[in-house]
């Protein structure tokens, strides 16, 4: 059984360099580390969840218009939680704090296996499944949905 959320998790803004290692470990398994450095990282906003000095969760938000037209102008990308801590609430804590800080609609391309996680935090699916080559099946999701139609 997985543990519960630790009261010692600190969420703070971070530099791009602080999110790459965990992104690589979780989202780019078996691929070169450089694939965890995303185009636009230098201009994006990044957050980490820390326990002591250890980064246990990360996410980044990019200024990127919603692909299907009117909708959120911010894209969540690169959310990852240490494998041994997934399912313990740390990722949810990070996501909720970032959503509260931004206070505006956000969209993402969520991996199929993460859909229920995002739905529990107020996101909804707005696209059919699509494949991102090398990464697998995804769905577009929005938080604070402003997409019409």
pLDDT digits (tens, 9 = 90+) for 29-54: 999 999 999 999 999 999 999 999 99
Helix, strand or coil, per DSSP, at residue 12:
strand
Q: Judge whether 119 lies within some domain.
A: yes
Number of domains forming the structure of the chain: 1
Residue 149 covered by a domain: no
Give domain status of residue 1, yes or no. no
104: tokens are 């505006």
Is residue 41 a part of any domain in this protein? yes
Alpha helices, H only, the chain: 16-27, 90-102, 115-120
Closest CA to 92 of 9, 1, 8: 9
Domain limits at 78? 9-143
Taking the C-alpha atoms of residue 142 and residue 119, their distance in angstroms, rounded to an integer, is 10
pTM exceeding 0.85: yes
Q: How far is CA 114 from the centre of its chain?
A: 10
pLDDT tens string for the chain (149 positions)? 344 455 588 999 999 999 999 999 999 999 999 999 999 999 999 999 999 999 999 999 999 999 888 878 999 999 999 999 999 999 999 999 999 999 889 999 999 999 999 999 999 999 999 998 888 899 999 998 555 43
Identify the CATH number of the domain in which residue 124 sits: 3.40.630.30
């Amino acid at each position: 059984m997985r543990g519960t959320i630790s009261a010692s998790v600190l969420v703070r803004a971070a530099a791009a360099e602080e999110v790459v290692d965990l992104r690589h470990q979780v989202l780019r398994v078996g691929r070169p580390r450089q694939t965890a450095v995303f185009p636009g990282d230098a201009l994006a906003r990044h957050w980490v969840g820390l326990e002591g000095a250890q980064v246990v969760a990360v996410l980044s938000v990019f200024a990127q218009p919603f692909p299907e037209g009117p909708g959120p102008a911010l894209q969540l990308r690169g959310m990852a939680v240490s494998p041994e801590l997934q399912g313990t609430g740390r990722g949810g804590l990070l996501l909720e704090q970032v959503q509260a800080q931004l206070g505006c609609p956000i969209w993402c391309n969520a991996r199929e296996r993460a859909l229920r996680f995002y739905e529990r935090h107020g996101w909804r699916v707005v696209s059919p499944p699509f494949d991102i080559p090398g990464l697998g099946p995804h769905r577009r999701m929005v938080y604070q949905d402003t997409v019409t139609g």
